[in-house]
């Protein structure tokens, strides 16, 4: 567990670190309100929080996962955009005990109403990447003398990004309207939001192709997928707009990685040739996943 101090804003009014004292911190009946901020290295959509992003917060009795004072899955919301988010209550305010007892605080993103503590993961619909970019922040501790927590969120799923280029016998116009799918993928899982260090538990079912989010020019596709133990039966499948030209590249051909790992992003560059596609891959932004990339040919 870790306690960090930092400048934070609970309401829209601006406070600086030097001006912020306990007299400035919102209170109720002599209770001190929790103050929340978070930096973020990378999110699915970009590397910034957006105004209106919501996280879910739990406050536990120190050293336990027993919810304190009913503070379970309390939504806090960003007020402005930026790499460093400051969060205000989106309804209920979390107050810290007047007797000085500490609270362990955890959080996850994106917020949604839950049944119990299980967050249901579903990556079938890739149309809004940020809505499925599940992240969790490790436990922080706060009390009335030091009511600030700074969350550091980690991605619990994996990400793939694909750049598509016209190759031999193809033009950029030929790529317009193509689709990219990841085949052989599990699409559902659960995550215990009270255990931020835990992994997503994949719900094993019938493997289903996931249609990635692809721009209209057919030059870029991206997707957030479940971590996997291996690449067995997984392929990248590119279908041109005519519906007849289909190219596939089995992920089992990869040499530098054989599975999708949580928190890692896998980058692929695909040259679409008239008769086949060639594939190279690199890693950036999230944690490095396949150590400089993969190459291969799809037919």
pLDDT at 12: 30
- Indicate if 149 and 162 belong to the same structural domain: no
Residue 142, domain CATH: 2.60.40.2620
Domain boundary among 126, 154, 182: 154
pLDDT at 14: 30
At 251, phi and psi to the nearest 5?
-70, -20
- Indicate if 76 and 96 belong to the same structural domain: yes
Domain of 106?
A: 27-154
The Cα-based distances of 117 to 107, 108, 152, 161, 191 in angstroms read: 12, 11, 20, 31, 8
- Indicate if 188 and 87 belong to the same structural domain: no
pLDDT at 85: 73
Helix/strand/coil for 269: strand
Q: How many CA atoms lie within 13 A of 175 on its CB side?
A: 25
Domain boundary among 131, 154, 177: 154
Of residues 280, 297, 1, the one with CA closest to residue 138: 1
Does residue 218 sit within a domain?
yes
- Indicate if 149 and 196 belong to the same structural domain: no
| pLDDT by residue, tens only, the chain of 299 residues | 444 433 333 333 332 223 334 444 555 566 799 898 876 656 666 667 888 999 999 999 999 999 999 999 999 998 776 656 788 999 999 999 999 999 999 999 999 999 889 999 999 999 999 999 999 998 999 999 999 999 988 899 999 999 999 999 999 999 999 999 999 999 999 999 999 999 999 999 989 999 999 999 999 999 999 999 999 899 999 999 999 899 999 988 876 678 899 988 999 999 999 888 888 776 555 654 445 445 444 45
- Indicate if 113 and 170 belong to the same structural domain: no
- Indicate if 164 and 292 belong to the same structural domain: yes
Does residue 211 sit within a domain?
yes
Domain boundary among 104, 138, 154: 154
pLDDT at 8: 35
- Indicate if 150 and 232 belong to the same structural domain: no
Residue 256, domain CATH: 2.60.40.2630
- Indicate if 68 and 138 belong to the same structural domain: yes
Sheet holding 235-239, edge to edge: 208-211, 179-185, 235-239, 246-250
- Indicate if 171 and 138 belong to the same structural domain: no
CA-CA distance, 178 to 293, in Å (whole number)? 23
- Indicate if 130 and 173 belong to the same structural domain: no
Looking at the structure of the chain, the number of domains it has is 2
pTM exceeds cut of 0.85: no
Instruction: Give every CB contact of residue 171 below 8 A, 6+ residues apart in sequence.
Output: none
- Indicate if 32 and 134 belong to the same structural domain: yes
Work out the burial of residue 32: count CB atoms within 10 Å of its CB; fewer than 13 is exposed, 13-18 middle, 19 or more buried.
buried
CA-CA distance, 45 to 288, in Å (whole number)? 18
């Amino acid at each position: 567990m870790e306690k960090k101090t930092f400048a934070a804003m609970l309401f829209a009014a601006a406070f600086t670190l030097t001006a912020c004292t306990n007299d400035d911190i919102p209170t109720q009946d002599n209770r001190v309100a929790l103050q929340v901020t978070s930096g973020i290295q990378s999110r699915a959509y970009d590397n910034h929080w957006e105004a209106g992003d919501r996280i879910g917060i739990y406050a536990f009795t120190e050293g336990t996962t027993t919810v304190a004072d009913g503070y379970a899955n309390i939504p806090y919301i960003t007020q402005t955009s930026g790499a460093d988010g400051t969060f205000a209550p989106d309804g209920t305010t979390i107050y810290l005990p007047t007797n000085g007892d500490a609270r362990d605080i955890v959080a996850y993103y994106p917020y949604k109403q839950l049944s119990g503590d299980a967050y249901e993961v579903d990556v079938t619909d890739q149309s809004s990447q940020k809505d499925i970019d599940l992240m969790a922040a490790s436990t922080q501790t706060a009390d009335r003398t030091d009511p600030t927590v700074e969350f550091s969120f980690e991605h619990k799923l994996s990400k793939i990004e694909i750049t598509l280029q016209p190759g031999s016998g193809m033009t950029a116009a030929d790529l317009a309207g193509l689709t990219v799918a990841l085949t052989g993928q599990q699409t559902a899982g659960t995550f215990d939001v009270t255990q931020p260090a835990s992994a997503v538990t994949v719900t094993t079912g019938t493997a289903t192709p996931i249609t990635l989010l692809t721009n209209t020019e057919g030059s870029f596709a991206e997707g957030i997928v479940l971590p996997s133990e291996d690449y067995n039966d997984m392929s990248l499948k590119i279908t041109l707009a005519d519906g007849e030209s289909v190219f596939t590249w089995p992920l089992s051909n990869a040499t530098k990685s054989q599975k999708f790992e949580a928190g890692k992003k896998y980058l692929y560059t695909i040259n679409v040739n008239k008769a086949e596609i060639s594939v190279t891959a690199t890693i950036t932004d999230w944690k490095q996943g396949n150590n400089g990339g993969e190459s291969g040919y799809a037919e």
